[in-house]
Amino acid sequence: MNFLCDLYALCVKKDSKARLSLIALLILLFTQQVTAQQLPLYSQYRQNGFIINPALTGVDEHKEVTATYRRQWHRMPGAPETATLGYRHYFEDDPMGVGGYLIYDKTGPTSSIGINGTYSYHIDFDRREVRRLSFGISGGLYQYRLNGSELVLDDPNDAAIYTNNVSKILPDAGFGVVYYTKQYFGGISVPQAISMNVKFEGDDGLSEIRRIAHFYALGGGKFHLGIDEQYLIEPTVWVKYAPHSPINVDLNTRVTLDDMIILGVGYNTSNTALLDLGVKIAQRAKLLYGLSFHFSKYHSYLGFNHEVTITYTFDAPEHYYDY
């Protein structure tokens, strides 16, 4: 990461031709045979927990739709953009939850569109209180696209670079397990469990995206404080690992004031800080905005990360507890 930022910082000071060459280099480093954290990042992942771990589908007993848009490194050309739209449903009469989501992710000339379904089965250990173990699976299809025409190089005739616009459709699957109560939850998951290579090959070159399995651990809790319990504190931790990349840890704490105003702070071991601001609307909807930034000399070149999330719950307010 620091090596790439050094390159970017150097070339921003040069002419536009050098900058375009660097952008092409950055993209090739990410889309050729590089293995690292590949899946989209979220700062407001508590709202999309079932995407991270399918066993979280139905944990909060909500029937809820969630939409998220994230723009990362807003000053860097071709930086990652992610959009998701998901729905999850808990069946009161059966110990299970179902969900599904659409996801769009783009970085430079590479992009993917996916559709996934999730299913979870909940084992109840105590019928008087919520103490459950949930197992979840997910499956879907992804279309990977390479817009080679967006690569702008110093030498347009470079035969080593693939310049066509192509796409491929591949399957995807994941699984996870979660133990939860009304106050705590914790679990592990393996998204993108099907590892394979996505090869784009033609007469004018070859490009390859190597898909690898990821390993996640996600946990957290909630605590009411104050004389009238008007403060809800929700700490969470998300640990991410992918082969040949360092372990990444995300720490967050969110405070909800009078069941209306939401404030949050967080830190990621990639040296990134997070600020969250949100509001609840009529106990059914949430509007959240997240701003994160990298603590380093490269911040002026990368810029901020912006994330907006909107959720709407179809249950009556007295029906559910907020997880």
Q: Find the CATH number of the domain harbouring 132.
A: 2.40.160.40
pLDDT digits (tens, 9 = 90+) for 32-60: 333 355 677 788 888 889 999 999 998 88
Domain around 306:
2-313
What distance in Å separates the CA atoms of residue 300 and residue 9, rounded to the nearest whole number? 9
Q: What is the average per-residue pLDDT within 212-226?
A: 92
What distance in Å separates the CA atoms of residue 145 and residue 132, rounded to the nearest whole number? 40
Tell me whether residue 187 is in a domain. yes
Tell me whether residue 319 is in a domain. no
Using DSSP's 3-state secondary structure scheme, residue 33 falls into coil
pLDDT digits (tens, 9 = 90+) for 90-141: 887 888 999 999 999 998 888 899 999 999 999 989 877 889 999 999 999 9
pLDDT digits (tens, 9 = 90+) for 249-301: 999 999 999 889 999 999 999 889 999 999 998 888 999 999 998 887 777 77
pTM: 0.80
pLDDT band at 68 (very low <50, low <70, confident <90, very high): very high
* Higher pLDDT among residues 296 and 239, named by residue: 239
Tell me whether residue 320 is in a domain. no
| Cβ neighbour number for residue 262 with a 10 Å cutoff | 20
What distance in Å separates the CA atoms of residue 232 and residue 207, rounded to the nearest whole number? 49
| Per-residue pLDDT, 109 | 81
Please give the tally of structural domains in the chain: 1
pLDDT band at 158 (very low <50, low <70, confident <90, very high): low
Tell me whether residue 233 is in a domain. yes
Tell me whether residue 263 is in a domain. yes
Tell me whether residue 323 is in a domain. no
Tell me whether residue 165 is in a domain. yes
| Per-residue pLDDT, 8 | 44
Tell me whether residue 192 is in a domain. yes
